[in-house]
Chain A
């Protein structure tokens, strides 16, 4: 189990995270919050790139900073801005990182092609990466993170910059890889985790806002989300969430805390509704 106990992180006088307590046991954890809310700071602390100002992070009861390389051997990390050597092929690049991860050559020779097949790069494993699209590079990133068969897979904004098709492919891949391990996936894109996350962690005002299943989180807005074609006729105080065009008319989805307005029908809330409502002061 990976446990974050009362962790606070400060940069000088600026507090990035305050008194965060989370337990990761197994499955996919979606770290969902707008940009600038401390997701990357938390992710970097889990990857031992940053250390808490106060509090502790424990893996199997031992502080990760003290575990050192024994902890680094159990993690796979895909940073937000994933770098690579353009002149190398995915096979060469993965062999290089396998060596840095202390994986012996014979294991790496078996594992590298296997992983590249898994991420659908089997037919280009000897092509220089300078010719690769963003989605292909991210898949190389996932393959390198899986090299040591990590017990904890940490992915920081893995779908940023991917087109919708690549994003779906990526989600399916994460879902496949999540068996028997902890996957921590940070994102500000709700659809990335709506279908694959077992639990969603939301941060707000530097603190932990919630850590629950997507269904339970959606339930917090149960009976408060409506849709209407005539938003101007809604007299009660309300917060508009989204709008879409249909047959030349605009269908508005909104939250109303004070009962069902006339000319509006209640709908089942989804994670995006909760996200937009919770971060209504921050989402532009």
Chain B
């Protein structure tokens, strides 16, 4: 049988061609989000989220305003506990709005499902949470820049830790009510140390080096972004809904 003998160079070119056609490079998180933004636009991505955002901002402000301990003595405690409030409630409320909508199933059969849109929103909500944390830190008025950065790094540390933990729990466990997990998590870890340790907790937060809290915040942010990437790329899982028929 006559066989054409390929040169090494030709073989390599052929392999490259097959691989370039056969393998598609996975999209980065940024690419996913820019594609989605181009396709959907701001208005469609944030449809029906005005109420959850307003309610969550009000909850965060209310939490700080109604905090039962004097916040000139418990500045760091207040900031640490309040930092994730906006984020966890806005995620909970916007997810609840989606799940209660009769369009939920239909949206899950589209190219961009509820899960994809939620991932985009979660990222935006975390950015909004960062802005709110910064504003809260400015509102509290620290005497020096060092205290301000300590407080800011503590706030962001709490925000990104809860963001990461909340999204991880929602991704790993597929229960119908799992979108409530970040709230329970925050209630268990956020205000609990205050009631248990009171002044010691404030002293501890005031003494943790800024470098450590900033490092934890950065690591938590990286883990949070990795979780978002996974949330977008995992295979479609079953819609938690009652099935008749």
Binding site for B on A (CB under 8 A): 11, 16, 35-44, 47-51, 65-66, 68-69, 72-73, 75, 77, 79-85, 96-97, 99-102, 104, 144, 156, 186
Q: How does the 8 Å CB contact mask read for B26-67 relative to A, with 1 for contact and 0 for none?
A: 000000000000011100100100000000000000000000
Contact: B41 with A83, CB < 8 Å?
no
Could you tell me how many residues of chain B have their Cβ less than 8 Å away from some Cβ of chain A? 27
> What does DSSP make chain B's interface, helix, strand, loop or mixed?
loop
Contact: B44 with A43, CB < 8 Å?
no
CB distance from B42 to the nearest CB of A (A): 11
CB distance from B43 to the nearest CB of A (A): 9
A77-B245 contact, Cβ under 8 Å, with A65-B235, A69-B111, A100-B112: no
Q: Does B110 contact A (CB under 8 A)?
A: yes
Chain A residues within 8 Å of B104, by CB: 83
Contact: B103 with A83, CB < 8 Å?
yes
Contact: A97 with B110, CB < 8 Å?
yes
Residue of A nearest to B105 (CB): A79
Q: Does B106 contact A (CB under 8 A)?
A: yes
Contact: B111 with A40, CB < 8 Å?
no
Chain B residues within 8 Å of A84, by CB: 102-103
A81-B102 contact, Cβ under 8 Å, with A48-B109, A99-B40, A101-B111: yes
Contact: B239 with A72, CB < 8 Å?
no
A186 to B103, CA, bound (A): 19
Chain A residues within 8 Å of B235, by CB: 65-66, 68
Q: Which 6 A-B pairs have the closest CB atoms?
A: A40-B245, A83-B102, A102-B111, A100-B110, A83-B103, A77-B109
CB distance from A96 to the nearest CB of B (A): 6
Contact: B245 with A101, CB < 8 Å?
no
Contact: B245 with A100, CB < 8 Å?
no
A102-B101 contact, Cβ under 8 Å, with A50-B238, A50-B243, A96-B44: no
